[in-house]
């Protein structure tokens, strides 16, 4: 038994140490995703140590110490996405005219359950619907929504990176960009609230690090970094949403938040794991919505399955800059900005590549 526990303790240590490297290889970056599962595994290992090992042995206490440190480190990353952490975004108050609700849905291109998504839109009545992985077939099916959502930006693709925006609220300055990879689009636009206030919107779906797509996370990280650097200088309220193919607690998503100054309404409320819809024990938060301090939160909710490998995410915000003025996210330092600059330079991209809808030139 002691040999088995030594092996699993060494494995726990390896799983904990690997993500400390900034190397972008998918194996290393993939270790960011299942931190909750790793924490459960290490907690179980600790229980086994106490049940099966000789508590008078120095080796036993060494194994317990290593497992405890590993568990503490894993929990440091994920605890902000539990009710044990203070909320980052205040509960909303304010008029309906200043509200915006966004439904973000990675539909999975071969999924043919468009009727479930259409039913969901009609039930929850979002102001904006964002679809990811939507091809021409999905565009054709979703045309029925245009009677109620007459404003749209459409980018149908059959490579798993198509994207569509449907909106009840006016969109202006729309632009489809390929910021890092020539076949991976993003959409940038302004949206006008019912009150007349203009909001700068960015919709993203960078490719993930994986053995079947990009062997490294460099392209994904570069897209996040240059958008973060761009919106950090915005004079407008900002919302960034989409499937970022990165978990909320990863070092690179934290870097995005530090550089952009945007807030995460999930902090202190929950993980809202949207992927994988088919495997309850292998889920993590891949679909995100970040916003500037101008907004407070009415609602954030993971919605039922539509047959995709992702659950949809519904977020409702209220523009209330006076109430949100003292909301604080993550602070950045010089090393964060140096790392962001290195990521962008490696892919030869820069913040000026990102459209700035609504900004005065």
Compute the average pLDDT of residues 228-237.
96
Compute the average pLDDT of residues 324-353.
96
* Share of residues in the chain with pLDDT > 70 (%): 100
Residue 140 pLDDT > 60, yes or no?
A: yes
pLDDT band (50, 70, 90) for residue 277:
very high
Residue 1 pLDDT > 90, yes or no?
A: no
Are residue 134 and residue 173 in the same domain, yes or no? Answer: yes
Predicted local distance difference test score (pLDDT) of residue 97: 96
Q: Count CB-CB contacts under 10 A for residue 106.
A: 29
Is residue 201 in some structural domain? yes
pLDDT band (50, 70, 90) for residue 94:
confident
Q: Which of the listed residues 53, 81, 109 is the one where a domain comes to its end?
A: 81
Predicted local distance difference test score (pLDDT) of residue 22: 85
Rounded-to-integer distance, Cα 243 and Cα 58, Å? 47
* pLDDT tens column, 279-289: 999 999 999 99
Compute the average pLDDT of residues 137-156.
98
Is residue 178 in some structural domain? yes
Are residue 244 and residue 316 in the same domain, yes or no? Answer: yes
Q: Which of the listed residues 56, 81, 106 is the one where a domain comes to its end?
A: 81
Residue 75 pLDDT > 70, yes or no?
A: yes
3-class SS letters over 177-230: ECCCCCCCCEEEEEEECCCCCEEEEEEECCCCECCCCECECHHHHHHHHHHHHH
Compute the average pLDDT of residues 47-68.
95
Residue 92 pLDDT > 70, yes or no?
A: yes
Predicted local distance difference test score (pLDDT) of residue 361: 57
Q: Tell me the whole-structure pTM to 2 decimals.
A: 0.95
Q: Is 25 exposed, middle or buried (0-12, 13-18, 19+ CB in 10 A)?
A: middle
Structural domain containing residue 100: 96-353
Name residue, tokens 């240590």.
13
DSSP secondary structure string, 250-300? Answer: SHHHHHHHHHH--B-TTTTT-----B-TT-TTS-B--EEEEE-TTEEEEEE
Is residue 90 in some structural domain? no
Residue 260 pLDDT > 80, yes or no?
A: yes
CA distances from 54 to 62, 65, 145 (A): 12, 14, 65
Are residue 69 and residue 153 in the same domain, yes or no? Answer: no
Is residue 291 in some structural domain? yes
Are residue 139 and residue 201 in the same domain, yes or no? Answer: yes
Residue 212 pLDDT > 90, yes or no?
A: no
Are residue 40 and residue 102 in the same domain, yes or no? Answer: no
Is residue 9 in some structural domain? yes
Are residue 178 and residue 327 in the same domain, yes or no? Answer: yes
Rounded-to-integer distance, Cα 181 and Cα 219, Å? 7
Residue 312 pLDDT > 70, yes or no?
A: yes
pLDDT band (50, 70, 90) for residue 131:
very high
Are residue 70 and residue 101 in the same domain, yes or no? Answer: no
What tokens does 219 get?
A: 């392209």
Is residue 360 in some structural domain? no
Compute the average pLDDT of residues 309-336.
96
Predicted local distance difference test score (pLDDT) of residue 62: 97
Is residue 113 in some structural domain? yes
Predicted local distance difference test score (pLDDT) of residue 326: 94
Compute the average pLDDT of residues 154-181.
98
> What is the tally of structural domains in the chain?
2
Q: What is the CATH number of the domain that holds 125?
A: 3.60.10.10
pLDDT band (50, 70, 90) for residue 360:
confident
Residue 349 pLDDT > 90, yes or no?
A: yes
Is residue 272 in some structural domain? yes
Are residue 58 and residue 174 in the same domain, yes or no? Answer: no
DSSP 8-state symbol, 319: E
Are residue 330 and residue 238 in the same domain, yes or no? Answer: yes
Average pLDDT, the chain: 96
Q: Which secondary-structure segment (H or E) carries 311? A: none
Are residue 54 and residue 162 in the same domain, yes or no? Answer: no
Are residue 161 and residue 289 in the same domain, yes or no? Answer: yes
**Is residue 41 within 8 Å of 71, Cβ to Cβ?**
no
Are residue 56 and residue 113 in the same domain, yes or no? Answer: no
Q: Which of the listed residues 25, 56, 81 is the one where a domain comes to its end?
A: 81
């Amino acid at each position: 038994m002691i040999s088995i526990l030594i092996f699993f303790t060494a494995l726990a240590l390896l799983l904990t140490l690997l993500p400390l490297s900034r190397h972008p290889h998918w194996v290393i970056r993939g270790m960011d995703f299942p931190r909750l599962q790793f924490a459960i595994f290490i907690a179980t290992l600790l229980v086994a140590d106490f049940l099966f090992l000789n508590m008078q042995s120095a080796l036993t206490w060494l194994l317990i110490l290593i497992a405890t440190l590993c568990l503490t480190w894993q929990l440091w990353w994920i605890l902000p996405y539990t009710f044990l952490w203070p909320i980052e975004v205040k509960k909303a108050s304010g008029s309906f005219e200043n509200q915006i609700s966004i439904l973000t849905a990675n539909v999975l291109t071969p999924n043919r359950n468009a009727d479930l998504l259409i039913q969901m839109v009609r039930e929850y009545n979002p102001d904006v619907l964002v679809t990811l992985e939507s091809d021409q077939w999905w565009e054709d099916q979703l045309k029925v929504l245009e009677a109620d959502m007459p404003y749209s930006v459409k980018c149908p693709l059959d490579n798993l990176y198509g994207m569509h925006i449907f909106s009840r609220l006016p969109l202006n300055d729309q632009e489809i960009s390929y910021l890092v990879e020539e076949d991976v689009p993003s959409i940038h636009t302004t949206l006008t609230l019912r009150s007349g206030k203009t909001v700068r919107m960015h919709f993203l779906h960078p490719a993930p690090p994986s053995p079947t797509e990009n062997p490294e996370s460099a392209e994904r990280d570069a897209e996040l970094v240059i958008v973060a650097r761009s919106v950090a200088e915005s004079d407008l309220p900002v919302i960034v949403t989409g499937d970022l193919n990165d978990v909320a607690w990863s070092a690179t998503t934290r870097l995005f938040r530090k550089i952009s100054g945007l807030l995460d309404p999930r902090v202190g409320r929950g993980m809202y794991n949207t992927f994988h819809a088919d495997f309850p024990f292998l889920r993590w938060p891949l679909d995100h919505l970040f916003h500037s301090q101008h907004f407070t939160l009415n609602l954030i909710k993971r919605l039922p399955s539509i047959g995709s490998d992702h659950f949809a995410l519904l977020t409702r915000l209220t523009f209330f800059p006076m109430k949100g003025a003292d909301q604080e996210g993550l602070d950045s330092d010089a090393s964060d900005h140096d790392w962001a600059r290195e990521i962008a330079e490696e892919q030869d991209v820069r913040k000026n590549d990102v459209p700035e809808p609504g900004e005065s030139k």
